[in-house]
Structure formats: C-alpha cells, structure tokens
Amino acid sequence: MITVITGHYGSGKTTAAAHLAAEYAKTGRTCVVDMDTVNPYYRAADLKSFLEDHGAALIAPMYARTNLDLPVLDYDIPSLSREYDNIIIDMGGDDAGAFPLGKFAGFLESEGQRGQLSHLFVVNFCRMLTETPELAAESIREIEAACRLKVTGIINNTNLRDDTDRQTIEDGIIKAQELGRLTSLPVVFSTVPRFIDGFSSGEFRKFDILIRNNWEM
C-alpha cells in the first residue's frame, strides 16, 4: 500500500506521516520516503529515531540533515513497493512541493486502480493560507494539478501546538467537515494532542508533537 501525504507548509504532514508509519509498521514492513523539496532541512529525516523505534525505515536524500540545500530525489518508488508492504511518501508543502511526485504519476495511477494507493491532504486551519475551508480546497486543487494525483481523503490536524485547547479542536472539526463537503472528500480522521482529554472515538487519533522549533527545545 502506498500512502502519499501532502499539505501546505506547516500543516503537520511530516508528523502525520511518522505516526501513520508507526501504526502501519505493526502489520508489515513500512518505510517513510522523504520527498520534501520545499524545506531544505528535510524534516522527516529528523524523525529517524522515532521511526526506527517503531519498526519503520526512513528513505531520505543523502544530503538530509546537512546545511546543503540539494534536493536530490533519486528514489525508485516501484522498487521500494516490492521491498515494503507500506510506503508513506512525505511530500513538500504546497503545489511546488508536490510537483516532483508527477515523475511517478503513471505508476501511482496504476497502483490506485488496484486499490493500493491513497493520497491524504493534511490541513491545519490555524496556519496561514489554509485558515478557511475555501482556502484549503484551493490548496488541494493546486496540489492535485502539480502532482497529477487526486486527493482521496483529508486529515484534520488543526492545532496550536502546546496552546491547543478543546475549542481549537472543535473549531477544526467543523471546518474539516465543511472542507469535506466542498471537495466531496472524506475526513479520514482528526488529530488531537495527547495532552487533551476526550475525543477517543475512532474518528480521532492522539498525536504527539514530534517536530520542535529550536526555541522550544
């Protein structure tokens, strides 16, 4: 199974990719492919220890976690699909970041026809450029055009990091439902920071904040 994770910059797609990898690794060989050319630091590479601790592998460019901004993407996705049961592709934010995925559009389309592909759009309505369902829907259309791959579902990751409260979560749920209506896409699940009680049904996932800014360390 191949899962493509896209979303605007700062949406939390890399954290979503890591948590999904930890879940999928319980049932099969799993890897996260770091295809983020927007962030020069290849932040999925920062989660290598988390992934390995949960039984998942990281496939990252040779320059990941260096001060060289060289987006060398020499992956062979078809070969990886033969090696791993689950592949999670962490794409760069916005349409420019999604563009490199177009290289594999033919293969991914064939996987989709076999029911072996999902393309999940991660949205945080507390972030600029996706504050409203309408803006988020526009972002989805731009990403689809860039990578030539239709989005199949939405992950609602609305949060204010450590300042998140129940109202933040509830407002995000309402906006995610509206985004689903605008795009005719299902909301696969909504994330909730682990420090907030409740929201324990199957439509919610408890996530830890895995990526911190330098001043938060």
Q: How far apart are CA 171 and CA 213, in angstroms?
A: 25
Q: How far apart are CA 43 and CA 14, in angstroms?
A: 7
Q: Specify the pLDDT at position 74.
A: 61
**Comparison of pLDDT for 133 and 203, the residue scoring more:** 133
Give the orientation angle of helix 133-147 with respect to helix 166-183, to 10 degrees: 50
Give the total number of structural domains in the chain.
1
Averaged pLDDT, 109-121:
83
Q: What is the DSSP string of 68-89?
A: ---------HHHHHHH-SEEEE
DSSP state of 21: H
Q: Specify the pLDDT at position 215.
A: 39
CATH number at residue 56: 3.40.50.300
**Arithmetic mean of pLDDT over the chain:** 84
The SS3 assignment for 107 reads helix
Per-residue pLDDT for 65 more than 70? Answer: no
Give just the sign of the alpha carbon dihedral 95, 101, 103, 109: negative
Per-residue pLDDT for 70 more than 50? Answer: no
pLDDT in tens, 182-213: 999 999 999 999 899 888 777 899 888 776 65
Averaged pLDDT, 129-133:
95
The whole-model pTM stands at 0.86
DSSP β-bridge partners for residue 35: 91
**Comparison of pLDDT for 146 and 181, the residue scoring more:** 181
Q: Specify the pLDDT at position 42.
A: 47
- pLDDT bucket at 123, cuts 50 / 70 / 90: very high
Q: How far apart are CA 203 and CA 156, in angstroms?
A: 10
Quote the domain boundaries for residue 25. Answer: 2-216
Q: Specify the pLDDT at position 94.
A: 57
